Amino acid sequence: MTIHDAPPAYRRAFRPADGRLLGGVAAGLAEHLGVPVVWVRAGFVVATWFHGAGVLAYLLLWWFLPVREKDLPPGLAAATRRGDRSAGTRGRPVREVVQTLALCAVGLGVLIILAHARGGVEPRYLAPILLAGAGVVVVWRQLDESSQDRTLWRDRGPAAILRTAVGLLLVVVAGVFLLNEGGLGSLLDVAAATLIALAGLGLVLGPWIARLSSDLASERRERVRTQERADVAAHLHDSVLQTLALLQKNASDPAAVATLARQQERELRSWLYGEQAEHGVSLAAGVRAAAAEVETAHHVRVDVITVGDAPADADVAALVRAAREAMVNAAKHAQVDRVDVYLEVTGKAAEVFVRDRGVGFDPEAVAADRMGLRGSIRGRMERHGGTADVRSAPGEGTEVRLCLPLHRSEEGDPS
Amino acid sequence: MSLRVAIVDDHAMFRTGVRAEVDHDVEVVAEAEDVDSAVEAIIRTLPDVVLLDVHMPGGGGLEVIRRVHPRHLEVKFLALSVSDAAEDVIGIIRAGARGYVTKNISGPELVDAIRRVASGDAVFSPRLAGFVLDAFAGTIEVAQVDEDLDRLTEREREVMRLIARGYAYKEVAKELFISVKTVETHVSSVLRKLQLSSRHELTRWANERRLI
């Protein structure tokens, strides 16, 4: 079920899909470079003082940086498409908006002073240029949103068209402004103006055309993906139908029904909501698999909560086996229908807690066979440098705590 | 006086099931199956607690909270879902829900959770506690302001870990030699941090969690 392309070997910069002020360029760069976003914004403003390089750079980056596409598991993607969930779009905090406005105001002030001092760009050209810039921003932003979210076009068509029109109008007005200011006399001026207008048009429509072609490519990818998903869905249907048939057959056996239902639920859930890592073997995946086995074999519910994860090695495998042993013990002896398992991996150690609210026992006076099982848990853990504690009292349930120090170098990060 | 509860879920069968389970202990004043009807019903009946499905037509539970919460702070929301996507769970809590429980919760446990939410406390299922620990784990970014909101105290972490291990509030209290009231205070404080933290890692984590 690999629908992901191999990740590129180098780190790419993206524009965030939500929470952006204009195009998300600054936010994306800040995340990529690991610096506060306000520095990046200040950088763009300062660069603008030098022949508008900042604005140009911003627009170019806006053009070239791809938006980070969310890769949702099928269940969530479907829910999003149907409108059963709202994507967690959040704007930037107000403080940041004000900060950026202030930054831009200061930048503009300096720009005007510089223009006066240098006598380069005359201040009267500044207004039309700004106007044109605003127009481009409005149109691009609209394009961004509509290419990201097709339903937006459908739902808010008029608003989208209006915004695009306003943006274009701003650019045209700016062009006319420039023409008048420049004086219509000479042919050269007209030619230059036409050129400017054409460049403006290209600037405004360029991204759209570029996006259209990239949209085509992603449509194609999407089609392949959809087919793959259809296959998986068909497979899933089969598994669910099988389970339903089994449920009907076993209707008189509540324990079997519960186990079957639970098993199917787990399978479906993990596929729909991407609960577990599909790739490779890890500690968390091992513990979940062990829990699933125990659930099926002993007709109890085993709820697994995991925080963090670690790659599998011999020690980790021993931890998983010990945890499995503890689950089996709880399922067999505690006389409960539910066992809680909690796995937490911190930087230094992995801990697993297996807990039941069952009959419990007196750890001081256990029968020989129980002793053996406990020995196999404890012995196994100790052989691999870990520890195992059992807390229990008659009538108070049992909790087994397994702890394994992790002594791996930095490279253990499974990202 | 029994609590007034609204059930919002797009599956009629599920609504019926929940109603049957809680009917003895609380008064079900409204049922709704999508965002618009839910918002209308909630504003009309002003229940104490709304049992809210995360995924449903019209934008999901998040949209219901967004529309009702700012105007009617007295209406409490308890998310009740089959979806275990961390992003959605954290999202709905950040929008203003006072708790999250999964749909396989037993009837008495659900009634207990409703009471807790109604009295202004927070309800954390083991899974939510796990998500919270995950979200607040890792290095704290120094550049982030408002540090108090961006980290859990040692005690809060302790409480979250016990809840993730399957301990009920009462058992947590016993384990840590503190009162149930204190446990509730800690959990509420974690809820507040979850809702108010500006830590952008929190949302980023939720987005990227499954991209292993």
> Are A50 and A188 found together in one domain?
yes
Q: Domain spans of chain B? A: 1-120, 123-212
pLDDT in tens for each of the 415 residues of chain A? 334 444 445 677 777 766 677 778 888 888 788 788 888 888 888 888 887 788 888 888 888 887 776 666 666 777 776 677 776 555 566 777 888 888 888 888 887 787 777 665 565 667 777 777 788 887 777 777 666 554 444 445 667 777 777 777 777 777 777 666 655 455 566 667 767 877 887 777 777 777 777 777 788 788 777 777 776 667 666 677 778 878 887 888 887 888 888 888 877 777 676 655 444 578 888 898 888 888 888 888 888 888 888 888 888 888 998 999 899 888 888 888 889 999 988 878 899 999 988 888 877 766 555 555 667 788 888 888 888 888 888 888 888 999 999 875 444 444 3
Question: Do A383 and A314 contact (CB within 8 A), yes or no?
Answer: no
> Are A115 and A192 found together in one domain?
yes
Q: How far apart are CA A98 and CA A109, in angstroms?
A: 16
Q: Does B143 touch chain A (CB under 8 A)?
A: yes
Tokens of B204: 């980023």
> Are A224 and A366 found together in one domain?
no
Nearest Cα residue to A139 out of A115, A119, A165: A165
The fold adopted by the segment(s) B123-212 is Arc Repressor Mutant, subunit A (1.10.10)
Q: The pTM is what?
A: 0.65
Nearest Cα residue to A56 out of A122, A136, A121: A136
Nearest-10 crossing angle of helices A37-48, A25-33: 120
- b/e map A76-94, b = 16+ CB within 10 Å: bebbbeebbbbbbeeebee
> Are A107 and A203 found together in one domain?
yes
**Would A249 be classed as within a structural domain?**
no
Considering Cα of A253, then A259, then A264, then A265, what sign does the dihedral take?
Answer: positive
**Would A169 be classed as within a structural domain?**
yes
Residue of chain B whose alpha carbon sits nearest to that of A306: B130
Question: Do A380 and A322 contact (CB within 8 A), yes or no?
Answer: yes
Considering Cα of A92, then A97, then A98, then A103, what sign does the dihedral take?
Answer: positive
Coil, strand or helix: which one is B36?
A: helix
CATH number at residue A341: 3.30.565.10
Which pLDDT tens digit goes with each residue over B76-117?
Answer: 999 988 766 777 888 888 888 999 988 878 888 899 999 999
Task: Please report which helix (H) or strand (E) contains residue A392, including its range.
Answer: strand A387-392
Count how many domains chain A has: 2
Instruction: Tell me A363's DSSP state.
Output: G
The complex's ipTM works out to 0.78
Residue B114 has phi, psi (to 5 degrees) of -60, -45
Nearest-10 crossing angle of helices A157-182, A123-148: 160
**Would A246 be classed as within a structural domain?**
no
> Are A121 and A223 found together in one domain?
yes
Tokens of A79: 């829910």
The fold adopted by the segment(s) B1-120 is Rossmann fold (3.40.50)
**Chosen from B207, B208, B209 to mutate, greatest number of chain A CBs within 10 A:** B207
Domain range enclosing A148: 25-70+90-228
Q: How far apart are CA B31 and CA B10, in angstroms?
A: 10
Question: Do A351 and A402 contact (CB within 8 A), yes or no?
Answer: yes
> Are A40 and A160 found together in one domain?
yes
Q: Does B1 touch chain A (CB under 8 A)?
A: no
**Would A193 be classed as within a structural domain?**
yes
CA distances from A287 to A341, A373, B144, B182 (A): 9, 18, 35, 32
Tokens of A12: 């790419």
> Are A142 and A204 found together in one domain?
yes
> Are A223 and A347 found together in one domain?
no
Residue in this structure with the two tokens 């539910």, named with its chain if needed: A338
Residues in chain A: 415
Question: Do B25 and B1 contact (CB within 8 A), yes or no?
Answer: no
**Chosen from A155, A342, A348 to mutate, greatest number of chain B CBs within 10 A:** A342
Q: Name every chain A residue with its beta carbon within 8 A of the beta carbon of B79.
A: none
> Are A29 and A135 found together in one domain?
yes
**Would A7 be classed as within a structural domain?**
no
> Are A185 and A289 found together in one domain?
no
Tell me the Ramachandran region of residue A367: left when phi exceeds 0, alpha when psi lies from -120 to 50, beta otherwise. Answer: beta
Q: Is B83 close to A75, i.e. CB distance below 8 A?
A: yes
**Using CB atoms, which residue from B63, B83, B166 is nearest to A340?**
B166
Nearest Cα residue to B7 out of B44, B38, B36: B38
Question: Do A175 and A193 contact (CB within 8 A), yes or no?
Answer: yes
> Are A41 and A189 found together in one domain?
yes
Q: How far apart are CA B212 and CA A275, in angstroms?
A: 11
Bridge partners, residue A399, by sequence: A355, A391
**Would A75 be classed as within a structural domain?**
no
Residue of chain B whose alpha carbon sits nearest to that of A4: B211
Query: In the sheet where B123-124 sits, what is the strand order?
Result: B27-32, B4-8, B49-52, B76-81, B99-102, B123-124
